[in-house]
Amino acid sequence: MPRKSPLVIGHRGAPGYRPEHSRSSYELALAMGVDAVEPDVVATRDGVLVVRHENEISGTTDVAEHPEFADRKTTKRIDGQALTGWFTEDFTWEELATLRTRERLPELRRSSASFDDAQPMLRLVDVLDLVREGSAEHGREIGVVLEIKHATYFSSVGIELAPLIERDLRAAGWADGALPLVIESFESTVLGELRDRGVAASYVYLIEAAGRPYDQVVAHGPHAVSYKATVTPRGLDALVGRVDGISVNKRMLLARGSTIVADAHARGLKVFTWTCRPENAFLSPEHRAGGGKAAFGDYEAEWGAIAATGVDGVFVDHPDLGVSFFRS
């Protein structure tokens, strides 16, 4: 039987209420009834996979307050963009374990920011164990949607993510298909590598509203296929047999005349979308209300338009709102 409502996925846990990727963020998402949670993974110098939105961590940890790490601040090019800060690949896990998590958007989410500096970073294996334990505690099957960040960049500095991910998934019992696992990335190359390694999962290709995937830019330069071209009927044809679905920026679904969901479904591909957030700062202009960027606008109208597309999964920052709306 097909689902009547989309999967509700806690985007980095419950970051509308707690600093993203913190233990309390994940625990809250599980308690609020999500179908799955989404950890982003990056790597340390000694090959430990940690959950962070980016490998640059100055905005989500207290690293800048640690004088012993002051000399690690540097500027790098990540996927072609210059970034200055502190990067996970310049630290060992033992060093990163001394840091504490912080709210990434403190001006918008002041309540979440009140939990700053209270919790350590997590490794991927910590989240996998937490979800398995949470499934037992809450009496329902809860999945993991694992997002791989910057695989081509990490490869360029001598850190191959695919074998590290396989290692952790197998060690935690998440690689054989017994537990609900989705693996996603904006780079299809690393998805193919993990599939070739026999990791049992649904593989989902992340799609930006503009630009080109970095792995394809490195491989093909100006001839790299754009994200927009990937979601045309011809582009979707090329994905059949390589991935199980796509996950698109919500603006692509909300664009007038969009047929992405229907086109993907016609080819047996699932469609997820990101990110459903209630604050004015993230809503389409027509759904914003008064009260400033942090205030909630008419998010139900926007979410209703998203649900009407027939999408298979939605990423949410406020899991209680997402569960209440999309399962009603």
Provide the pLDDT for residue 1: 43
Mean pLDDT to the nearest integer, 198-213: 98
Mean pLDDT to the nearest integer, 151-164: 98
Angle at 320 between CA 316 and CA 326, to 5 degrees: 65
Mean pLDDT to the nearest integer, 108-130: 98
Nearest CA to 102 out of 92, 93, 112 is that of 112
Buried b (16+ CB within 10 A) or exposed e, 245-284: bbbbbbebbbeeeeebbebbbeeebbbbbbbbbbbbebbe
Mean pLDDT to the nearest integer, 6-12: 98
Give the burial class of 110: count Cβ atoms within 10 A of its Cβ; 0-12 exposed, 13-18 middle, 19 or more buried: exposed
Report domain extents, the chain: 7-326
Provide the pLDDT for residue 4: 73
Computed on alpha carbons and rounded to an integer, the radius of gyration of the chain in Å comes to 19
In 27-172 the beta strands, taken as DSSP E runs, fall at 36-38, 40-43, 49-51, 74-78, 81-85, 143-148
Q: How far is CA 155 from CA 43, 150, 255, 265, 305, in A?
A: 11, 9, 35, 33, 39
Is the pTM above the cut of 0.85?
A: yes
| Tokens matching residue 30 | 């599980």
Digit-coded pLDDT (tens) for 265-294: 999 999 999 999 999 999 999 999 999 999
Digit-coded pLDDT (tens) for 36-88: 999 999 999 999 999 999 999 999 999 999 999 999 999 999 999 999 999 99
Architecture in CATH of 7-326: Alpha-Beta Barrel (3.20)
Mean pLDDT to the nearest integer, 80-105: 98
Read off the DSSP letter of residue 261: H
Mean pLDDT to the nearest integer, 137-154: 98
Distance CA(55)–CA(32), nearest Å, equals 28
Instruction: Report whether pLDDT(32) > 80.
Output: yes
Using pLDDT thresholds of 50, 70 and 90, give the confidence band for residue 3.
Answer: low
Distance CA(85)–CA(73), nearest Å, equals 5
Residue type at position 288: R
Give the percent of the chain with pLDDT over 70: 99
Helices and strands, number each (H, E), in the chain: 14, 12
SS3 state of residue 88 = helix
Average pLDDT value for the chain: 97
Mean pLDDT to the nearest integer, 301-315: 98
